[in-house]
Amino acid sequence: MTKEQFLAGTSFKVISNVNYKGASTFRYDGECLMKETRSSIDEQVIYFAYHLNIKKIGRVGFKGFTYVMNKRVTIKHKFTDLEPFILETSVGE
């Protein structure tokens, strides 16, 4: 994934996560990262919710944080570790 795709709000998966039909995806909404919960039948977004705050967007990646049980958790990801989500449709649809 590129920085431009990330900033444009393209849905993505993290490459190191287990991927299966209906797995959650993420997208940047201009202020924070949103988690998209998808249907295991047709992979359409069922609902989305806040996932974490974005602290900094750099040239090769981003830093974010959230709170878990009153503890601040900080993460870093490179754009190359993200895979754009492409909704695959069956032939004839």
Query: What are the pLDDT digits (tens) for 49-88?
Result: 999 999 999 999 999 999 999 999 999 999 999 999 988 7
Number of domains in the chain: 1
Least confident of 24-28, 41-45, 60-64: 41-45
| 92 falls within a domain | no
User: How many of the other CB atoms lie within 10 Å of CB of 11?
Assistant: 19
pLDDT in the model for residue 92:
54
| 89 falls within a domain | no
Closest of 16, 41, 13 to residue 27, by C-alpha: 13
Domain of 79 in residue numbering reads as 3-84
Q: What is the mean pLDDT of the chain?
A: 90
Distance CA 42, CA 67 (A): 32
Does the reported pTM lie above 0.85? no
pLDDT in the model for residue 8:
95
pLDDT in the model for residue 22:
82
